[in-house]
Structure 1
Amino acid sequence: MTDRTALVVRGGWQGHDPVATTDLFLPVLADAGFDVTVEDSLEVYADESVMAGTDLVVQNWTMGEILADEMHGLRLAVENGTGLAGWHGGLLDAFRGATDYQHIVGGQFVAHPDDMVDHEIAVRPERADHPVVAGIGPRIRLTTEQYWVQTDPLCDVLVTTTHAPRDDVPWDEPVTVPAVWTRRWGRGKVFACTVGHGVDELRHPDVSAIIGRGLVWAARDAA
């Protein structure tokens, strides 16, 4: 069996530290047998030959814009079996105007009502045997941004978080939203994790384990 290929695409808004955060997972990919290429431009998405030979795209590109040929290349690759994976704004707050991109990922960041807040993420009991979260949890306590995301029913939600009502917010009951999910898109697989604002959060052992497993899960199945 030959090594699979992983393409790490990083850039966009620098507040999420795309270089340092993705660097944390380069050894994880190498240990899992991936031949890793790192790109600091979205132009690679438009190269259909490169994308066709890529088994996994790890994207960390917050906000920004994606051109039509880049979006076409990414969409075609995922539909044909290339995995797409990432965390936090690098996947879930990318290309705010590109609804085709949001369609693939299955969710979009809309708010984090506080900056850094003490909260829990909880593994759904009925999905606790999924390989991405098996043996983790059932609850993980974090102090970081708590993402509010809007998702669609095709997502297989593995982990959730609940936004509590308070006097200073406009919702009056607890709101539970996905925090980790997977989905299948054509022949490709998608993994998304809302946690991962910076290096400190990504070094949390449970968060690191979930993301590391999620990257491997999303990749095209080995030949």
Structure 2
Amino acid sequence: MAPGRRQVLVVRGGWEGHQPRETTNLFMSFLRENGFRILVEESLEVYEDEKLLAQTDLIVQCWTLGDITRAESEGLAAAVRGGTGFAGWHGGILDAFPGEPSYRLLVGGQAVVDMPGPDRQRVRLSGEHPDHPVIAGLRDFDVPTPPYWVHADPLNDVLATVTFEADEARERPVAIPAVWTRRWGRGRVFVSTIGHGLDDFAVPEVRAITERGLLWGSR
């Protein structure tokens, strides 16, 4: 790696419905323009490469469903605790590796993908962290795809929410986290529930939040 440059590892694969290659490709030029050297892997075995992960400033993961081995999961978590950033969106980070509970502790949440909700989402920015660099200067916005209902960790700093209205099952409206950041050891974690596919990233605010989140998450 050239002196003064940061390295990003893009790990992509899993269910093709979330377009892991197409969506991660959207951010390649942005990352290069911000001084990153990019390494792309389409196998989770890279999470066992302790030396490589220690030299990596940011991991961007887009891997929906699938299985992760204990060694791979432990390698990823150890890297983040050591200072490597971890970032992702939608199912590529929140619906990855459903059989590995320790992964949930790392990302701070899990999607409950079969929870009925609206056909589109109104994303409301948090009033608790208005100056956070991921959302500063932005306003509430709409996204043309259904929101995720998530179970979220109280250690998260929630930057945006979506509202599920009351229905025959829910007695009252509830705001569900849509974007958050968190610290895990010395590492930073950025998670956005938004990013089902290319159409979501055509919304300027979604693109801006994701790009800012990648930079915030990096070592």
Shift of 1:204: 1.0
Pairing partner for 1:124 from 98, 123, 126: 126
In 2, Cα distance between equivalents of 1:214 and 1:119: 20
TM-score, normalized by length of structure 2?
0.96
Unpaired segments ≥5 residues, structure 1: none
Confirm whether residue 214 of structure 1 aligns to residue 213 of structure 2: yes
- Residue 128 of structure 2 aligns to a residue in which SS? helix
What letter corresponds to residue 156 of structure 2 in structure 1?
C
What letter corresponds to residue 153 of structure 1 in structure 2?
P
In 2, Cα distance between equivalents of 1:159 and 1:24: 22
In 1, Cα distance between equivalents of 2:16 and 2:195: 14
- Residue 120 of structure 2 aligns to a residue in which SS? strand
Shift of 1:116: 7.0
Contact kept? 1:114, 1:146, Cα under 8 Å: no
In 2, Cα distance between equivalents of 1:109 and 1:200: 20
What letter corresponds to residue 188 of structure 2 in structure 1?
K
Contact kept? 1:81, 1:189, Cα under 8 Å: yes
- Residue 117 of structure 1 aligns to a residue in which SS? coil
The match for 2:200 is 201
Contact kept? 1:56, 1:85, Cα under 8 Å: yes
In 1, Cα distance between equivalents of 2:123 and 2:49: 38
- Residue 32 of structure 2 aligns to a residue in which SS? helix
The match for 1:41 is 43
In 1, Cα distance between equivalents of 2:126 and 2:117: 25
Q: Deviations over 1:92-142 (max 9, x none)?
A: 0000011111101000001354587122010012211100001111x1112
In 2, Cα distance between equivalents of 1:112 and 1:175: 17
TM-score, normalized by length of structure 1?
0.94
What letter corresponds to residue 161 of structure 2 in structure 1?
T
The match for 2:159 is 158
Matched length: 217
In 1, Cα distance between equivalents of 2:170 and 2:9: 40
Following TM superposition, the consecutive aligned residue runs of length 4 or more in structure 1 with deviations greater than 3 angstroms are 112-116
The match for 2:60 is 58
Q: Deviations over 1:181-208 (max 9, x none)?
A: 0000000000000000001101211000
In 2, Cα distance between equivalents of 1:146 and 1:78: 27
- Residue 77 of structure 1 aligns to a residue in which SS? helix
In 1, Cα distance between equivalents of 2:121 and 2:108: 24
Unpaired segments ≥5 residues, structure 2: none
In 2, Cα distance between equivalents of 1:57 and 1:123: 25
